[in-house]
Structure 1
Amino acid sequence: MTLRFDRRQFLLGSSALVAAGAVGVMPAWAQAANLRLTFWGGQARADRTYGVTDLYEAANPGTTIEGEFLAWNDYWPKLATQTAGGNAPDIIQMDYRYIVEYAKRNAIAPLDEFVGGALKLDGFDEDQLEGGKVDGKLYGISLGANSVAALVNTVAFEEAGVEVPTNAWTYDDLMTMGEAFKSANIRGGMKVIADGSYSEPMLDNWLRQRGKALYTADGKLGFEEADAIEWYTLWNKLRDAGVCVSAEDQAIDTGAVETTMLVLGKAAIMPSNSNQLVGFQAIMKDKLGMNGYPRIAAGVGGGHYRKPSMFFSVSGSSANKEAASAFLSYFVNDPEAAKLLGVERGIPCIAATRDVVAPTLDEQNQLALNFVANLGDLLGPLPPPPPASAGEIDASLIRTLGQEVGFGAKTPEQAGPELISGANAILSRS
């Protein structure tokens, strides 16, 4: 489902007042243009984003920005269709897993020629800049650093009489917590965790703790059949014990925030990302907390990493690349824009921007910032960008096979080899 929002209705008073003081002579590189912007996310992200586009339009007379946002699962098929038809929006929210594919197909444009002119990146975190490069060229501007994280309904834990997990928890602890939730039988049988068996980030984290990876630097698989079988076996055990939600319940999750097990109250923990805490809390009454993914054993870390939460890229077919680059520059540099955006997309990548944002953050935003800044021994190195076909492997194999095992259509011993053979076949075609 496509969600639309009239940005004129957002922060009508405050943004207009701020913008009034920002209006002035346009910089020489700023071009009046009609720009289209697309991004995935929920209403909370849209509100913040459209607040910034309002400010930008007010500061740059003659420029209009038409925005559209969709749920994650709807976003990529529509973007692929628009790209194939030569009608992609000028400004595209891009993910780390897809940036190589879109860059190599010229679906997004290198931005190097605009750096220092329309696109100001002074003081930008070097690791976040590197994350947006493909073959040495800059294709994406990181909108924030984040890490995978488990979002936790702390109120549900209190009702169940179970201590909220910390960064020290393990998969064995998860089993113990799940059994306690089952005994407490709160909220009509709420489980302790959503089904993570077909969560690509959770699989990646589990593999990294074992010294392996989803993909190697040369774009090959970084794990084997035995690993995949063990992964599916682990989640079968959790599912059979009533620790994670049933396959039937998990199937309700279409990718939209509103359909997740956490929001629907079917699970107290959900594998997610640190920047998503803000969006989830905006539509939930129960107070949420956050900690790392479970460890495979006590003291084992290194599964997490700080990655660009998402990028803004410019379409390769855009007729307004310089104007689009100017908007990207405003989005990551302007102090008033930074205050509106907070850390909903991750921790800002420019130190001066972080300094502006930090004093304005509420408790939940501070929690997200502190989590990413203090991962401790959970933190490992940033992996190389996934191969161009990683998105297809995620959607058509990791998720599908996880569901099939969950519903009992396949055993772990069947799904494990199929994941490896299917992924290798996709990689060989790319």
Structure 2
Amino acid sequence: MMKRFRALVAGTTVLTCLGILLAGCGDDSESGPATLRYSWWGNAERADLMKQAIALFESKHPDVTVTPSFQEYEAYWQKMATETAGGNAPDVLQMDFSYLREYADRGVLYDLKKQTGENLVLDDLLPGFQGAGEVDGALYGVPVGGNTWSMYYNPAIFAKAGVPTPAAGWSWQDYRNSMARITEATDSYGGGNYTGIIYNLEVRLRQQGGQLFTPDGRLGFTREQLHAFWAEGQELIRADVVLPVDKAVQIKPRSGFADDLIASELGWDNFLVRYAAEVKTPLKLAPVPTDNPGQLGQYLKPAMLLSTSSRTEHPEEAAKLISFLINDPEAGRIFGANRGLPATNAQRAAAQLEGPLAEVAAYEQSIADQLTKAPPAPPKGAGGVEATFIRISEELHYGRISVDQAVDQFFADAEQKLGS
């Protein structure tokens, strides 16, 4: 009789585990009640969604209590700096890809590979997100959602100019020729000056087999490569086919799409939501131009990740919470695209995306087989390097400095930031 009872209990445990879809499974009663502190950045809308998701998680894991905390982005990182310095980091914390290596190198984060396959299920991540939170072989963050680089364009303006719309196989010269024809035939500029954005340099480098940063945290390109890139931008300015920098600054925070000032732009695909609200005619997405057929240089960049503190007393429960937040379909329906397009297939299917977000998801699906592995988490100082790139390229586009001067200034400042 006792053997039959034990068999029934074992069978019930297996069925219970199967019922918790992709959210990890374990016998919470063995470890006893646990309380997890969970911190994230966001606004009141995200906080409301998060509370719903936490309540759902607690209903499925009755021995785990989650204590939530959120702040706006800047305040969040100020608080994280204070708490981690004092050894009082939350058990689970939202992580920005740009800060991942810095926090990992400081020993603040827990290696989630220790929980993978048991309490943390990663099998359903989109291929481009696999390994995106790794640093030096350890897993310090799991992507929640993300996006990829892309080309936006206004089909109505392209049609007015009689120019074919962007498509796979377009070279950078094809793009420049189209910008010239659009500027000549319409009241719009062909596009923005893409050489003022560091991610366009990155995608160009990746198309050539290079990278923005080396694995050891240095610049991954030469002075000659940067010189050629910025010289290309100067040629676009002289040809008067790109939106002048002074006009671009004047219309901020609106984009050039708002008044049909430009016909195209390069940027993260999730910006389509913002741009779509500015225009009367629908915008479309296309792959980035490339001179290396079959190599777009594009990848899925985590919009945010979830990490665990290296000091947590409940690594198993923390891993279960992360697994739930990225995998559970009901949680996916709650969040939709609030945290970026979901990183797992199950949550993307459950998110009920509509309008521009549905178009972004379809776009990513159309180029999924051409997306390559994300680069390693950027080194400490990468954010400062990006800011330097923006500042110096703006000075260059205003004509205040030469390309030679711009390259010299950038390398001096960037190397100092990465070396500090």
Alignment TM-score > 0.5, same fold? yes
Cα pair 1:252 1:259 within 8 Å, conserved: no
Letter in 1 for 2:41: T
2:41 maps to 1:38: yes
Determine if contact 1:209/1:302 at 8 Å carries over to the other structure: yes
Alignment of 1:96-115 (within 5 A): 96-112=97-113, 115=116
8 Å Cα contact 1:100/1:386 also seen in 2: yes
CA RMSD of aligned residues (A): 3.8
Query: Within 5 Å, which residues of 2 pair with 1:188-267?
Result: 190-251=188-249, 258-263=253-258, 265-267=260-262
SS in 2 for 1:336: helix
- Report the more deviating stretch, 119-128 or 333-342: 119-128
Q: Which amino acid aligns with 1:140?
A: G
What is the identity, as a one-letter code, of the residue corresponding to 1:336? Answer: E
Q: Which residue of 2 aligns with 1:10?
A: none
Call closer, same or farther: CA 1:366–1:135 in 2, change over 3 Å. same
Ranges in structure 2 where 5+ consecutive residues have no aligned partner: 1-26, 60-64
Distance 1:52 1:279, change over 3 A: farther
Q: Deviation digits for residues 402-427 of structure 1, max 9, x if unmatched?
A: 11111112111211233233333333
| Alignment correspondent of 1:23 | none
Q: 2:415 is matched with which residue: 400, 424, 427?
A: 424
Q: 1:159 to 1:31 in 2, by over 3 A?
A: farther
CA distance in 2, matches of 1:314, 1:275: 27
Query: Partner of 2:83: helix, strand, or coil?
Result: coil
Task: Give 1:277's aligned amino acid.
Answer: L
Aligned partners of 2:109 and 2:309 also within 8 Å: yes
- Corresponding residue for residue 147 of structure 2: 146
- CA displacement 1:312-354 (0-9 Å, x = unmatched): 3356788998776554333212212223444565554434434
Match 1:294 to one of 268, 289, 293: 289
Secondary structure in 2 matching 1:151: strand
Q: Distance in 2 between matches of 1:328 and 1:263?
A: 39
Contact 1:178 1:242 in 2 (8 A): no
Of 273-282 and 135-144, deviating more is 273-282
Between the aligned partners of 2:151 and 2:48, the Cα distance in structure 1 is 29
* CA pair 111-276 structure 1, distance change in 2 beyond 3 A: farther
Task: Tell me if 1:82 matches 2:79.
Answer: yes
How far apart are 1:52 and its partner, in Å?
A: 3.2
Aligned partner (choices 325, 331, 340) of residue 331 of structure 1: 325
List aligned pairs for 1:125-140, cutoff 5 A. 125=126, 128-140=129-141
Does the 8 A contact of 1:276 with 1:344 survive in 2? no
Mapped contact 1:37–1:92 kept (Cα < 8 A): yes
Question: Would you say the 8 A contact 2:207–2:292 is kept in 1?
Answer: no
Aligned to 1:419, the other structure's residue is in SS state helix
Aligned AA for 1:132?
Answer: G
- In the TM superposition, what is the alpha-carbon distance from 1:369 to its structure 2 partner? 2.9
Conserved 8 A contact 2:112-2:140: yes
Q: What is the aligned partner in structure 1 of residue 167 from structure 2?
A: 166
Cα 1:283/1:185, change in 2 over 3 Å: closer
Aligned length in residues: 382
Runs of 5+ consecutive residues of structure 1 not aligned to the other structure: 1-25, 70-74
Shift of 1:356: 3.8
Task: Give 2:178's aligned residue.
Answer: 177
CA distance in 2, matches of 1:209, 1:132: 22
C-alpha displacement of 1:112:
4.7
**Residues 34, 309 of structure 1: alpha-carbon distance in 2 compared, 3 angstrom cutoff:** closer
Question: Structure 1 vs Structure 2: percent identity of aligned residues?
Answer: 26
2:344 maps to 1:350: yes
CA contact (8 A) 1:252 1:260 kept: no
Correspondence 1:406 to 2:389: no
| Residues 188-209 of structure 1: per-residue CA shift (max 9 Å, x gap) | xx42322322312111111222
Q: Judge conservation of contact 1:111–1:138 (CA < 8 Å) in 2.
A: yes
Structure-to-structure mapping, 1:45-124, within 5 angstroms:
47=45, 49-50=46-47, 52-59=49-56, 60=58, 63=66, 65-69=68-72, 75=73, 78-86=75-83, 92-112=93-113, 115=116, 119-124=120-125
Asked if the contact 2:37/2:90 (under 8 Å) is kept, the reply is no
SS in 2 for 1:244: coil
1:113/1:223 CA distance change after superposition, 3 Å:
closer
1:312 pairs, out of 306, 311, 330, with: 306
Q: Deviations over 1:350-406 (max 9, x none)?
A: 34434445xx443644432333233388544443333222222112x2112111111
Q: Distance in 2 between matches of 1:98 and 1:260?
A: 28
Contact 1:51 1:340 (C-alpha < 8 Å) held by counterparts: no
Greater gyration radius? 2
After superposition, the Cα gap between the structure-2 partners of 1:420 and 1:277, relative to the gap in structure 1 and judged at 3 Å, is: same
The C-alpha deviation readout for 1:120-140, integer Å capped at 9, x for no partner, is 445445762411122333221
Bigger shift: residues 321-330 or 129-138: 321-330
Q: Aligned partners of 2:390, 2:174: CA distance in 1, in Å?
A: 25
